[in-house]
Chain A
Amino acid sequence: MTRALNTPRPARVRLEPARPDGMPAEVNGEAIASLRESWLVEDRWWTAEPLRRRYWELVGEQGRDVVVFHDLCSGRWFVQGP
């Protein structure tokens, strides 16, 4: 049975109202210490199911690297990676 690896998992994200850029302040209960990188992915815009994601690579309070993205089509947050 073939299946994709690294599929997105729903994440619980808290935003910092003071930050207008939409950077998460907390991901799955872990506070965010710093931002490493942020990028935008737009794909399949020519289809009926376009893909628009704002990715955030963050470092948690415990030093763990976490990659989350905001699905700009559905408005939901997902975590990706180990």
Chain B
Amino acid sequence: MVVCVYIPRFELVVAAGDRAKVIRETLAGRALAVAPLAGGDRSRVGQRVGEVSGAAEARGVAAGMALGEALARCPHLVLVPGDPVRVAEAWEAAMRALESIGAAVEPARPGLAYFEAGGLRGLHGTQERTLAAVQRVLGRPVRMGAGPTRFCALACALAASSQRALVLEGEEARRWLAGRPVGLLGFRVQTAALLEPLERLGVRTLGELARLGRAELTDRFGSAGGLAHRLACGEDSPPRARRVEERLEESMAVGDASSGEALKRVLGVLVSRLLARSERRGRTLRAATLSARLIAGGGWRERVVFRQALADPERIWLALSVRLLALPAPATMLELAVERFGPPASEQGALFDETPARRGAHPARLDAHPSARSVRAARLREAVAQMRAVAGQDAALRAVCVDPDSRVPERRVVLAPVPE
């Protein structure tokens, strides 16, 4: 049984300050929307609003709409400056709260997460108690749904109220899912583009979509069509829990050094302080997050994956200082956090290059030399780690022959993760 936790308008509420006043305003019918990100496309058509309040939705404004169109539809729309820094902090706190009750959480996006509830019965007893524990640790109104798959759980969460979770199992879940609107496919990146053509074709519910047939949908829409059919039929891949790593961060109020060279010097201090932390235990840094609170309100956040795992403050500073140029406005505070650690800094290259190339060996024999092989293996490990840091665990796979003589082709070879 998969549980979906959905916090509606999470980014909007956090960006607006998470204050009771703001929530009252939202409920009182004020049309709010998260302003387009500062520093993005400056043209009025290119700038798009973020999450919107219910009142704004009622006036025809939707998340992702061009700013000009949103203002034309709702002239009284109040734009709230986006704050990706606070959103990331609040979402991280929510994830850790869920993990504190034993859940292995897959965060889909801020405000939406999944976890497998089966393993938690030993801790909490029943399904109801598990859901109650979620409500308790999050401490805010959430919508929860539980179903046999992630997609079904999401549909349940969207249909549930914050007072009562919707739990469906087995055949009942599949029957119920058939009556849900195809708009649910918009919550998946891979299938979001199908909404418009499906609406034009007059397909309104997932049941109607399922009746079209998988082969026909795959033929018309490619792999997205096949996935949409799988989801509509109640099939989905299981949740993939995130890798939990300890958080290491340093922040500093920048005072007068709000931009330019002075800000780069503040960054240098942050890098030195981060590398000096004993919790680092000599490990290198593979990915980091640089964020800032802006004088004008709101925040800015940038994820940086280094070309190789680093422990040298000068090189880390060089890689990060370039990103400061993208800062959209003067900052009041700068923060640097480690997102992923690399191997310990002691795993460094040899002082003297002992490869045969240096000694004039024939290039064709380079691979045969043990040191050349180890260098290649180390480079491959490094490349795999970088790819995974950027694109996730599935970024580097290898083909493994499991039954090469099988008469059934799909049993011969499997794709397995490349060991780091």
Contact = CB atoms under 8 A, between A and B. Distances in A.
A3 B240 CA distance: 14
Interface size grouping (class) on chain B: 20 to 34
B413 A28 contact: no
Given A2-B415, A3-B414, A5-B399, A76 B240 contact: no
Interface string B193-237: 000000000000000000000111011000000100000000000
Contacts of A51: 408
Contacts of B214: 10
Contacts of B216: 12
Contacts of B413: 4-6
B407 interface: yes
Contact of A12 (B219, B399, B417): B219
Contacts of B393: 1
B347 interface: no
B175 interface: no
Interface string A27-48: 0110000000000010100000
B416 interface: yes
A28 B222 CA distance: 12
Contact of B411 (A4, A10, A28, A81): A4
A6 B219 contact: no
A6 to B, nearest CB: 5
A70 B338 CA distance: 53
B414 A1 contact: no
Contacts of A80: 409-410
A28 to B, nearest CB: 7
A41 B411 CA distance: 13
Contact of A7 (B218, B240, B410): B410
Nearest to A28: B219
A22 interface: no
A66 interface: no
Given A1-B240, A1-B393, A1-B394, A8 B410 contact: yes
A12 B212 CA distance: 13
Contacts of B215: 10-12, 76-77
B34 to A, nearest CB: 34
A37 B394 CA distance: 36
Contacts of B388: none
Contact of B410 (A2, A6, A11, A28): A6
B50 to A, nearest CB: 31
Interface in B368-420: 393-394, 399, 407-417
Interface of B: 214-216, 218-219, 226, 240, 393-394, 399, 407-417
16 contacts: A1-B240, A1-B394, A2-B414, A2-B416, A3-B415, A4-B413, A5-B399, A5-B410, A5-B414, A7-B410, A12-B219, A41-B407, A41-B408, A80-B409, A80-B410, A81-B409
Q: Which 3 A-B pairs have the closest CB atoms?
A: A10-B215, A5-B413, A4-B410
